Structure 1
Amino acid sequence: MTTQAEHERAVVDAVPTGLFIGGRWRPAASGAVFEVEDPSVARPLRTVADADAADALDALSAAHAAQESWAAHPPRERGEILRRSYELIHTRIDDLALLMTLEMGKPLAEARGEVAYAAEFFRWFAEEAVRIDGGYAVSPDGKDRLLVMRRPVGPALLITPWNFPLAMGTRKIGPAVAAGCTMIVKPAEQTPLSMLMLAGIMAEAGLPDGVLNVITTSRPGAVVEPLMRDGRVRKVSFTGSTAVGRLLIAQSAQEVLRVSLELGGNAPFIVCEDADLDAAVDGAVQAKMRNIGEACTAANRLYVHAGVADEFARRLARRMGGMAVGRGTEPGVEVGPLIDEDGRGKVRELVGQALDGGAKALTGAESPPGEGYYYAPTVLVDVPADAALLHEEIFGPVAPVIAFDDEDEVIAAANATPYGLVSYLFTENLRRAFRISERLDTGMIGLNKGVVSNPAAPFGGVKQSGLGREGGRAGVEEFLETRYLAMPSP
């Protein structure tokens, strides 16, 4: 009988660990490799090929060579490839989820949820592939006919983060395939295995050689910059930190690339005095603890009306304090490890600074003993206004609760950030819901909901939370150019 450890090893060992270029697996030209770590035990999980700039340019050459034929590929067949990929993902959901848990740390049940969510992007964009249209019009003076056509942008560089290693990939790959763009995918060095497995699935689904190329590297800056400077890349899509996003915008200027960026967040979670408190606590747990708090959409500042703030904080502390912490593969575990020691160290520092400033912890505020990068779910009250964790992403299971007295006060506080990805609002008053929602300066709002992500909806933010949208009808638009053809009237 196979043990759990043997099963885990078999799943990990089945994943190709080379570079995927031009439809073939190959080692890095230098032969270099780097280690992928299991954050639950702080030990190496697998080694993968460590690409350099020459490998990246080989991947770009493969994408460039395939672009013309792929752009001419029938839209229906592009959609069918995505549909077959969607179906294959569901046949491998258990292995993909286990792989994600081992390389990233999230509990297995949550990893299964991400795999299903990731697959939905392929189903959605499979249907969008045949709905790309144009237009025909008579010019106002009647002398010309005006034809508008859509065409793929061209080879795209897709850079994905470690916190949602599969879903952030399919959210970019799906519309690129639907639009007829070839691509080079650079997954995060912490979590490349999920993307490598996905590349094999898409090849099995019939994706032509060179359309999808995957390069893994421990030196992202040295690999990405030459691609950005090469005129054959025409589009870059990045999910990650605002600091790196700014750098990519600067690098994209030389070749005037189309840019889509989904960057940092500092999400306010507002609970009005008339809110359903049970629903608000449930929503807060979802918005805060999804992905162990390591999400740009995570509730970062919980503003609760003074009339219900104490009760809300007590209920939230009871819920979060009762969540099981441990290795994501263990039954009943709800909170896995953070991604690495740097991530945990940042959470410790932010909580420590808030406590030194007068905040009180109702639960948590400590790291459990033992191996792995764990941090206990934490609820803080009496948080000083200058605490750093109110002004930057926590990226961990920490919920600071701040009391407020009136709408103007909480709206001003919610908007007092350079970020604008998502807000959450809980109220039973419809007029108040619209009134506050219209004044919140974010790209998305969860009204009486703790999760806003949906493949059919445009995901993205304003201000320093990014440019462009992913998902929904807007998602494929990011990979299309508009061409206008003028001709004389017949």
Structure 2
Amino acid sequence: MEIDKARLYIGGEWTEAAAGTYFDVVNPATEQVIARVPDAGPQDMRRAIDAALAVQASWADAPAAERAQILLRAAQSMRAQLEDLARLMTEEEGKPLSESRGEIAYAASFFEWFAEEAKRVYGEIIPANSANKRILVIKRPVGLSLAITPWNFPAAMITRKVGPALAAGCPVIVKPSELTPLSAFAIAKILEDAGLPLGVLSVLTGTQPGPLVQVAMDEFSVRKISFTGSTAVGKRLMVQAAETMKRVSLELGGQAPFIVFADADLDAAVENAVIAKMRSVGESCVAANRMYVQRPVLEAFSRKLTDALATMRMGDGLQNDVTVGPLIDGRAVAKVERHVADAQKQGARLLLGGTRPQGPGYFYPPTVLAGVTDSMLIAQEETFGPVAAILAFDTEDEVIARANNTRAGLAAYYFTRDVGRVMRLAEHLEYGILGANDGLPSTAQAPFGGMKESGLGREGSHYGIDEYLDIKYVSLGGINC
């Protein structure tokens, strides 16, 4: 789609905001405005809800195969338009083109996966206590759903929510981040062209998310909310959802440990540490935030990781040889700078980076800190930036306790050749996603989600569609009459 013609998508119509207001979308690599987008308000959300409710029953009753075909066509279209979609993503979010291409392929895989799952929403017959009865279990769409998505994966976080909602038979309203709205509009156009009935999908962008979302939270007919973002906002949404007992899926903040044992394949551990730390320049809720390295290999791992990160080239993601793009905005840079300064003040040693370059763009270089301790901010908060914080440990029991000493529980990584240890950590690390000798575990067929304050529910896998289905049972009597 042409980014200078971006409009709200409400009830199958490309339209302006009711208030006639706009906001700017900025390229974080250049700090230049690349688009002006309608700034939706409460009246626009009301229109989207009314449009969805008008088609809710017909979409719920549409054959699963029909819903599946629409999603499959959308997946195919995303792959066909991969280069254009990747460039659009890099312009609004900043990540290098190679990563944007990977994300578009990843995003398309959720449409494909849930197209297949749409045809596998099975019921059940349960043996009754009476010969005159039968008990039938059926699954039905939960109803109108609201998806609130973040800026760091502006395509994949939409398809991971919209895919299962549409597959289950739910109309859905998407409220993407105001920082990256263009990818959301592009996906809406793809679904429209794939034959999605008008009204089933709406996309609203706005700089005042509180009043915009509040309309949906107050509306009883909105039966489901799925949110990816900060833990603080997730908690507020959960409280609001309780007023009308909405179904809730929350994918919230992380504090991922990356654990390297002395028996690990050190080269593989370093290669995967670069992926787990630097994917999307560290702006990922599953990014490795605390790198615990067993003392016998501490020096070797630190040296190898520093050497690997030193080869990465920072710059505008539209340049083909760039591997490190900008952070999303000035606030993100300020948080990274605060964490690095605090660590150095408390005695951490800077092995690489640590200084923001001059010039336009929200850049911060790959940075390595050694001698980090658990008391430092960088070990207590989610940094969301390209800083590898290395902490030493001695024993397995010690590192499990330290890794678990957080309210977050989204992802954890560990590297070891000991099969018994692989299983022990799988059982005792308090995280929903575990990468055992794997720094990139995310995939459409696996259940993505966290424990503790990292959220509720699962996205992806066959569990993902269950988040959009209600279970009903029918007790059928009079069989032998």
Q: Same fold (TM over 0.5)?
A: yes
In 2, Cα distance between the equivalents of 1:27 and 1:327?
31
Q: What pairs up with 1:241-260 in 2 under 5 angstroms?
A: 241-260=230-249
Match of 2:309 in 1: 320
> 2:260 is matched by which residue type in structure 1?
V
Give the corresponding residue for 2:39: 50
**Equivalent residues of 1:152, 1:180 under 8 A apart:** yes
Hey, what does 2:106 align to over in structure 1? 117
Q: Give the superposition deviation at 1:489.
A: 4.1
Q: Which residue of 2 aligns with 1:154?
A: 143
Quick one: distance in 1 between partners of 2:352 and 2:333?
17
- Give the C-alpha shift of residue 222 in structure 1: 1.1
Say if 1:145 and 1:489, in contact at 8 Å, map to a contact too.
no
Alignment map for 1:123-134 (pairs within 5 Å): 123-134=112-123
Are positions 1:380 and 2:361 aligned together? Answer: no
Matched, 1:264 2:253: yes
Q: Does 1:12 align with 2:3?
A: yes
User: Is contact 1:63–1:155 with CA below 8 Å preserved after alignment?
Assistant: yes
1:181 equivalent to 2:170? Answer yes
Q: Which residue of 2 aligns with 1:6?
A: none
Question: Conserved in 2, the CA contact under 8 Å of 1:32 and 1:49?
Answer: yes
Distance 2:372 2:260 in 1: 17
Mapped partners of 1:137, 1:347: distance in 2: 55
What is the number of equivalent residue pairs in this alignment? 479
CA distance in 1, matches of 2:374, 2:230: 24
The 8 Å contact of residues 300 and 390 in structure 1, kept in 2 or not, is answered as yes
In structure 1, C-alpha distance between the alignment counterparts of 2:102 and 2:325, rounded to whole Å: 15
> Structure 1 regions of 5+ residues with no counterpart?
1-9
The 5-angstrom pairing of residues 287-326 of structure 1 reads 287-326=276-315
User: In structure 2, how many angstroms separate the alpha carbons of the residues matched to 1:189 and 1:86?
Assistant: 24
1:230-261 Cα shifts (integer Å, max 9, x gaps): 11100000000000000000100100000000
Q: Which amino acid aligns with 2:179?
A: Q
- Which position in structure 2 is the counterpart of 1:5? none
2:386 matched residue in structure 1: 397
**What's 1:59 paired with?**
48
Secondary structure of the structure 1 residue equivalent to 2:474: strand
1:265-284 matches, within 5 Å, as 265-284=254-273
| Alignment partners' CA distance in 2, 1:436 and 1:130 | 36
1:418-429 alignment, distance < 5 Å: 418-429=407-418
Aligned counterparts of 1:393 and 1:134: Cα–Cα separation in 2: 42
Asked if the contact 1:381/1:402 (under 8 Å) is kept, the reply is yes
**In structure 2, C-alpha distance between the alignment counterparts of 1:253 and 1:385, rounded to whole Å:** 36
CA contact (8 A) 2:374 2:380 kept: no
2: CA distance, partners of 1:207 / 1:321? 47
Residue matched to 1:342: 331
CA distance in 1: counterparts of 2:127 and 2:94, whole angstroms: 58
1:44, CA displacement in angstroms? 1.1
**Which residue in the other structure is 1:74 paired with?**
63
Q: For residues 228 and 142 of structure 1, what CA distance do their matches in structure 2 show?
A: 45
For residues 347-398 of structure 1, what are the alpha-carbon distances to aligned partners after superposition, in whole Å with 9 as ceiling and x for unaligned?
Answer: 0011111111111110011111110000010010111321011011000000
* Deviation of the 1:140 alpha carbon: 2.1
**Deviation of 1:103 (Å):** 0.2
* Structure 1 residue 197 displacement after superposition: 0.7
The alpha carbon displacement at 1:12 in A equals: 3.0
Q: Distance in 2 between matches of 1:108 and 1:11?
A: 18
RMSD over aligned Cα atoms? 0.9
Decide which moves more: 137-146 or 68-77.
137-146
TM norm structure 2: 0.98
Counterpart CA distance in 2 for 1:28 and 1:302 is 46
CA distance in 1, matches of 2:64, 2:452: 35
Match for 1:226 among 215, 239, 257?
A: 215
Q: What is the DSSP-based 3-state SS (H/G/I as helix, E as strand, rest coil) of the residue aligned with 2:334?
A: helix
Distance 1:331 1:71 in 2: 44
Aligned to 1:3: none
- When residues 11 and 484 of structure 1 are mapped into structure 2, their CA distance, relative to the original with a 3 A threshold, is same
Among 76, 86, 98, the alignment partner of 2:87 is: 98
* Secondary structure of 1:148 counterpart: strand
Specify the SS of the correspondent of 2:296. Answer: coil
Aligned to 1:4: none
Q: What is the deviation of 1:68?
A: 0.4
Q: Distance in 1 between matches of 2:27 and 2:157?
A: 20
Structure 1 length-normalised TM: 0.97
Tell me which amino acid in the other structure corresponds to 1:324.
R
Alignment of 1:398-413 (within 5 A): 398-413=387-402
Q: Deviations over 1:195-217 (max 9, x none)?
A: 10110110000000001100010
Match of 1:7 in 2: none
Gap change, CA 1:265 and 1:326, over 3 Å in 2 = same
SS in 1 for 2:449: coil
Q: Partners in 1 of 2:386 and 2:127 — Cα distance? A: 58
Partner of 2:422: 433
User: What residue in structure 1 maps to residue 196 of structure 2?
Assistant: 207
2:468 aligns with 479
- The one-letter code matched in structure 2 to 1:12 is I
Q: Which residue of 2 aligns with 1:30?
A: 19
Q: Distance in 1 between matches of 2:373 and 2:166?
A: 48
- CA offsets per residue over residues 426-455 of structure 1, 9 Å max, x none? 001111111122110000100101011000
The residue aligned with 2:318 is 329
Is the contact made by 1:145 and 1:486 (CA closer than 8 Å) also made in structure 2?
A: yes
Could you say which residue in structure 2 is the equivalent of 1:88?
A: 77
Q: Which residue of 1 aligns with 2:445?
A: 456
CA displacement 1:26-54 (0-9 Å, x = unmatched): 10011000011100011211010100001
Deviation at 1:143, TM superposition (A): 3.4
For the residue of structure 2 that corresponds to 1:157, the secondary structure is: strand
CA-CA distance at 1:11 after TM superposition: 5.1
With 113-122 and 142-151 compared, the bigger mean Cα shift is at 142-151
Structure 2: gaps of 5 or more residues: none
How big is the shift at 1:331?
A: 2.1
Residue 101 of structure 1 contacts residue 107 of structure 1 at CA under 8 Å; is this kept in 2? yes
Instruction: Give the whole-Å Cα distance in 2 for the aligned partners of 1:181 and 1:396.
Output: 36
